[in-house]
Each structure stands twice: as C-alpha cells, then as structure tokens.
Amino acid sequence: MGATIRDVARAAGVSPSTVSRALAMSELVNPATVERVRRAAESLGYQPNPVARGLITGRTRNLGLIVPDLANPFFPGVVKGMQARAREADYAVFVADTDEDPGLESRLARKLAKQVDALVLCSPRLADDELLALAADVTLVLLHRRAGDLPAVLADNAGGMRQAVGHLSALGHRRIGLVAGPVSSWSNSERVAGLRAACAGRVELTELGNFAPTFDGGVAAADIVLASEVTAVIAYNDVMALGLVNMFTARGVGVPGRISVVGCDDIPQAAMSSPPLTTVAVPKEQTGRAGVDLALALLDPAGPGPAPARELGAQLLVRGTTGPAGR
C-alpha cells in the first residue's frame, strides 16, 4: 500500500541503503544526496515501516502499560502522564486493563512482552515471584509496587500519612479510624504501615477490616466506622472516602461536623464532591512520566546503569471534609 524504501531509492536514483542512511544518519551522506532523497521521500509520502524496522533493530519503540482497572479514576491520570512522556520520546503505548484479575494480568503481560521494548505495570496484583519471573523475559518497570529490587516508581505513602495524621491531630482528633483496602494491594499495606507509624504514641488508631476499593466498599464501611466511635477516618482511597461521606450524609451524620474524612489519591471527583474531599494527593501523571523515564534509562545501553527506584512525594490537600474534632 504505502511507498517502500525501494520506491524512494528508485525515485532518487540511489540504493535503498543510501535512503536509509540519508534519512537516519544524514551526516554520513553527501548533503546533495540527502536533499534528493528527502524530496523523493516527501513526494512519495514515504513513511518507514516500523514493523520491518523493529524486526532488524529488535526495538519496537512501543511501551506496554498494564493497569488493574481503567474505570478507577486514579489510573487514567497515570496513563495520560505515561502517554505524554512516551510521545515526547517518540514511543507509542499499549494499554491493557486486567479487571483486577491477576491471571489475566499475567497472560496480558506475556502477550504484550513480545511487542514492546519495556513493560510498565501499575499497581500489579501479581505475586513477587511472578513479577521477578516476568522481568527475566522483558524489561520491567513497576509503579506503586516494590518487588525484589525491580525498578519502581513509588509514592511517599508514609509521608502522606504523616501529614494526614498531623493535620487531624492539630484539629484535636485523638481517635482515628482506618478503612483499609484490599489485602492483595501493596499500596494498602504501605499506607497501613505508614499510618501506624504516624499514629504511634500520638493518637489512637482503629483499624477497620478490609473493604473493596470501591464506592460501595466505602458505603459498606460507613456504619462500622460510626460504631467505632472515632472522630476522624482515613480511607484507603478517594473512591471509598466518597462512599463514606455519602453514607454519612444519608445517615444524617455531619461531615466534617461530627466526623472528619480523609481520602487518598486525589482523583478528579474528590474536588467536585460536596463538601470537597480532603485527601492525600499522589502525583498520577508524574508517576506515569517517571515510569517512562525509568524504562527508557533501562533500555539505553549507554545508560548510567539502572536507577532501581524513584520515590515521588505525596501531598495532603486540605479541603472540606476535615474540621475540628467535635464534642
């Protein structure tokens, strides 16, 4: 269909190899020839075939990204960041969604592995050893997950929790509840651990079961939170926090009058709800960008060795769901 390099060669009166060099390594070719080739390529609308190029170079200039659930408003931010950075580096991105299914995650990863130069896994649900096995087959970067010493981009969960507790503590809260997310989530463990450390010796922490990281999970947790007699609650993520607030409101429990609520992630809806949600913001786009940076560094043979992990800051955003501890 499209013009090939041979068509351009014929049109320019040179050999295909000269065309290739003129277009890619023009300093090795006579400027006049380069110009002639350029013009021929232009007039034929020649676009190099990335498949053929990939076959010989072994590089596809594609990156893969696997996320648990695109419908979770947290992930589109990561995807956008990754796409933007990839585009700058002239890479394209395959995106796959696993529906939170580890089996599917594994299969998708292996399938994608052959078509991309590096695979970026965001919040993978796979076990550590499976991730390490995967890393043997393909250049791998982890986002929001640590496994062995695989390259990873992480958020400062501990720092974020510290800020949240500091904020609540300053408002007079002495009993804080934690609505935990899924056990299989590494971020959840991190946040729980960070929260414990931040509370230690200052405020009493009541940990409330594990709930689904969804709006309904938050709804389900709401009454349990109320029964626990805390004056503030921190949820594993914003979606759950929104569920909590919604149910509190339905129960006639004032937020933040009677109870304060803090979420995590800072999804777009957090700022739009009423009252707007106080939350620990995790840099989403930046995570995606950093993932590409790491992947590119790993791919670069002349690179200054691997930068195994990169930690991004987390930032408490005080909005409308936190206030002074009630009577």
Partner DNA sequence: CCCACCTCTACAAACGATTGCAAAGTGTTT
Partner DNA sequence: AAACACTTTGCAATCGTTTGTAGAGGTGGG
Per CB under 8 A, residues contacting a second copy are 1-2, 47, 49-52, 54-55, 60, 62, 70-71, 73, 76-77, 79-80, 83, 87, 92-97, 99, 108, 110-112, 114-115, 137, 215, 242-243, 246, 249-250, 268-269, 272-274
- Choice between 34 and 325, CB closer to DNA: 34
Return d(Cα 102, Cα 151) in angstroms, integer. 20
Using CB under 7 A, pick the residue from 10, 38, 44, 53 that binds DNA: 53
Cis peptide bond prior to 102, omega within 30° of 0:
no
Return d(Cα 123, Cα 108) in angstroms, integer. 15
Using CB under 7 A, pick the residue from 45, 56, 252, 302 that binds DNA: 56
Q: Which stretch binds DNA (CB under 7 A): 42-50, 65-73, 88-96, 257-265?
A: 42-50
Computed over its alpha carbons, how large is the radius of gyration of the chain?
25
HSE-CB at 213 with a 13 A cutoff on CA atoms is 23
Return d(Cα 183, Cα 187) in angstroms, integer. 9
* CB-count burial class (<10 Å; 0-12, 13-18, 19+) for 85: buried
Q: Which stretch binds DNA (CB under 7 A): 44-52, 225-233, 244-252, 286-294?
A: 44-52
- Choice between 108 and 165, CB closer to a second copy: 108
Residue located via tokens 């078509």: 115
Using CB under 7 A, pick the residue from 11, 29, 261, 262 that binds DNA: 29
- Cβ count near 194 (within 10 Å): 21
CB 216, min distance to a second copy, A: 9
Residue 115 sits in the site that holds DNA (CB under 7 A): no
- Choice between 242 and 295, CB closer to a second copy: 242
200 binds, among DNA, a second copy, none (CB under 5 to 8 A by kind): none
Using CB under 7 A, pick the residue from 42, 43, 49, 303 that binds DNA: 49
Residue 62 sits in the site that holds DNA (CB under 7 A): no
- Choice between 14 and 147, CB closer to DNA: 14
Strands (E), the chain: 62-67, 92-97, 118-122, 139-143, 152-155, 175-180, 204-210, 232-235, 260-265, 278-281, 309-312, 315-317
Candidates 82, 149, 155, 164; CA nearest to 119 is 82
Residue located via tokens 């206030």: 323
Q: Which stretch binds DNA (CB under 7 A): 23-31, 94-102, 148-156, 283-291?
A: 23-31
Residue 4 sits in the site that holds DNA (CB under 7 A): yes
HSE-CB at 193 with a 13 A cutoff on CA atoms is 10
CB 221, min distance to a second copy, A: 15
Residue 28 sits in the site that holds DNA (CB under 7 A): yes
SS3 state of residue 96: strand
Residue 24 sits in the site that holds DNA (CB under 7 A): yes
CA 225 to chain centroid, in Å, comes to 29
Using CB under 7 A, pick the residue from 39, 42, 43, 57 that binds DNA: 57
Residue ranges that bind DNA, judged by CB under 7 A: 4-6, 13-18, 20-21, 23-24, 28-33, 46-49, 52-53, 55-58
